Chain A
Amino acid sequence: MPTLELNSLPDANLIQICLNGGANRSQAWEALILRYQRLIYSIPRGHGLSDSEAADVAQAVCLLLLENLARLRNHQRLGAWLYTTTRRECWRQLRQRHSISNELDPAALESQPDEKTQPEEDLIQLERTTLVRAALSRLEPRCQRLLTLLFYTEPRPSYEEIVKTLGLPEGSIGPTRARCLQKLLNILEQNRFFE
């Protein structure tokens, strides 16, 4: 199965392929990592870790995922597992940075005060925005560029600037934007995003 088709599978199906082996195992792993790359990288950056520390955390999380995926009971909760594991790795990295004693209870680290007070809501928001970005990356390049300019660029460029940047005919942005968003919505529905 080509990687493109694997990308359209929900987490639970991808995990099955990762665990059961076969010719597509490597591609299924790759699809999972690419799907959650933003979540895995955004958490350490949000904890104030540097680029290289965040890269170390991301690598460690990938290794932990390899070791623990078979033990993940609820395959629908992969995002939550990655969120928790990545936060733990962030604390480990911060502990190394500040040379905190290795004998510190890991549970104490988990209860470290966080700037954010609603981790469950943070998790849901982060997981869902990550999955929208992953779905966006499956659109044709023209749609990706248009939706990125319209919805992810601050300050939002004017329609005239977008027409010039993308070389679109004048007056076509509205209908094109609707078609692209509808495609994005279809991909998300296919992945059971709204269930």
Chain B
Amino acid sequence: MAHLNFETILNYVEGSLSLEARSGVEAHLNQPCLHCQALAARVTDLLHLMANDNTIAPPRAVVQRMLAVIHRHAATDRPRIPATLVFDSWQHDPLLAMRGPESALHQQLLFRAEGLDIDLQLTSSQDDTTVRGQILSAGQDEVLLAPVVVLHSRGDVVAATETDRLGQFAFESVPSGIYDLHIELERADIAIEGIRLDR
């Protein structure tokens, strides 16, 4: 027995066939053709589900946060490479670490690992800190393909983001504390540990 083609079944389920074509399909189904009946039932089910879908896609940052949990705990085989501090603006000029009344406090840090420069700028107000960063190939100003950057506190993921096309990322309004920053590359993580934001 020749079966109905998929488009005909779809049009039948959607009710877009002419009366004559519809009668032809029904005659075929009622022979009975169990194969086409089953296919029509599945198409009906699928269209019903699509029409009644109230799910909400999580924002990208939330998906990254979920995956960061998985990567951190499930992928224990991923090597973690500690980054080396190569520049700290406060060590360079300790006066910069002094805060005037109502003024924000800035600190610039430069880390290096795996041929990458990780530039961090910490801007603290009275209540919290904004962490801005940029990841570039060391000495070449070459932007890396969107690695995920994850902020941890006491082993828990606090926030996660992806770098933009300039290799930049930011975490706004981070409460005081000591944090680890992990940059998730394809096969390894770069770890910057013990960043103090409690000034």
Please give the residue numbers on chain A whose beta carbons come within 8 Å of chain B beta carbons, in ascending order.
18, 25-26, 29-30, 33-34, 37-42, 45-46, 51, 54-55, 58-59, 62-63, 66, 125-126, 128-130, 132-133, 147, 151-152, 174-175, 177-178, 181-182, 184-185, 188-189, 194
Contact = CB atoms under 8 A, between A and B. Distances in A.
Contact of A181 (B43, B49, B71, B77): B43
B50 A39 contact: no
A58 B49 CA distance: 24
Interface string B20-45: 00000000000000000000001101
Contacts of B61: 55
B50 A151 contact: yes
Given A26-B71, A40-B66, A41-B58, A129 B52 contact: yes
Secondary structure at chain A's binding surface: helix, strand, loop or mixed? helix
Nearest to B16: A174
B55 A42 contact: yes
26 contacts: A25-B75, A26-B70, A30-B67, A33-B66, A33-B70, A37-B58, A37-B66, A38-B56, A38-B57, A40-B66, A41-B58, A41-B62, A54-B58, A54-B62, A59-B66, A66-B74, A129-B54, A132-B50, A132-B53, A147-B50, A175-B7, A181-B43, A182-B6, A184-B46, A189-B42, A194-B45
Chain B interface category by residue count? 35 or more
A158 B144 CA distance: 41
Contacts of A29: 70, 74-75
